[in-house]
Amino acid sequence: MTAATTIVVRRAEVLARLDAIVREFPRVSLASSLGAEDMVLTDIILRERLPVRIFTLDTGRLHADTVGLIGRVKAHYGHDIEVFRPVAESVDAYVREHGANAFYESVDLRKRCCAIRKVEPLARALSGQQAWVTGLRRAQAVTRTDLPWREHDAVHGIEKFNPLADWSEDDVWTCLRSAGVPYNPLHDRGYPSIGCDPCTRAIRPGEDVRAGRWWWESSDSKECGLHVATASASEVALER
């Protein structure tokens, strides 16, 4: 098959997975990081008018290009992405006690920042939902090599789906470009994985795709707490 034919088949597979999800779970959300993978899912959901709520987390430290993509989605599809933000008092307390950039000092302080800016808003966003969808892929990180396409999220007490789990980087970009999907321009400037501005850098040739995320830490600790497959609820609560 040609690359174009392959991606048509791959999109159809993902659409079938999403169709199955919404038939089983009437209240389902896509948690979008506004990264390339999530834009693939956003495009399929909105083009096919699937009843999937789409939300994102604005941590208050995102790149301007990332925030700007929210408006570009509205202009392209006529659809508003719901935005959840951290509790201002929690952010202020962290900054007063530790400093605005304390996440560089230790993994613990970095995870505490992620807990305030990401984990707690995610919990609010998923409240009342029966399932959530992510753009995670197995090839993204050493912490995701065994990623299933469906799993139970014990922390939030709902089902979690990763429809692109078996997709390659080439699959993602062929899909985006063939469908003219808007995406974050930082991807064109060497950012394959994009998080908060102070915690993300462009990668160098030959580096792992997530090398630019929390680059001062070892690769086996590079998760923020949003995707914890084996952690207990008490362990995640400590991050908060």
pLDDT in tens, 13-66: 999 999 999 999 999 999 999 999 999 999 999 999 999 999 999 999 999 999
Query: What is the token pair recorded at 74?
Result: 């509205």
| Model confidence pLDDT, tens digit, residues 80-100 | 999 999 999 999 999 999 999
In order of their start, the domains of the chain are 3-239 (3.40.50.620)
pLDDT surpasses 90 at 229? no
Query: What is the token pair recorded at 202?
Result: 């462009």
113 belongs to the catalytic site: no
Map tokens 């999937």 to a residue: 52
Q: Quick one: pLDDT band at residue 221, thresholds 50, 70, 90?
A: low
Distance CA 235, CA 238 (A): 5
Mean pLDDT of the chain: 91
Which pTM does this prediction carry? 0.89
Q: Quick one: pLDDT band at residue 235, thresholds 50, 70, 90?
A: very low
Per-residue model confidence (pLDDT) at position 223:
55
**Could you write out the three-class secondary structure of 41-104?**
HHHHHHHCCCCCEEEEECCCCECHHHHHHHHHHHHHHCCCCEEECCCHHHHHHHHHHHCCCHHH
Per-residue model confidence (pLDDT) at position 179:
95
Per-residue model confidence (pLDDT) at position 238:
26
Map tokens 């609560």 to a residue: 237
The one catalytic residue among 113, 114, 196, 224: 224
Q: What is the mean pLDDT of residues 177-186?
A: 97
Element (H, E) at 12: helix 3-24
Per-residue model confidence (pLDDT) at position 77:
98
Q: What is the mean pLDDT of residues 145-154?
A: 94
Distance CA 174, CA 1 (A): 14
**Hey, what's the torsion of the CAs at 48, 76, 164, 207, to 10 degrees?**
170
Per-residue model confidence (pLDDT) at position 140:
84
List of residues 6+ apart from 140 with CB closer than 8 A? 193, 209, 210
Distance CA 123, CA 172 (A): 28
Q: Quick one: pLDDT band at residue 232, thresholds 50, 70, 90?
A: very low
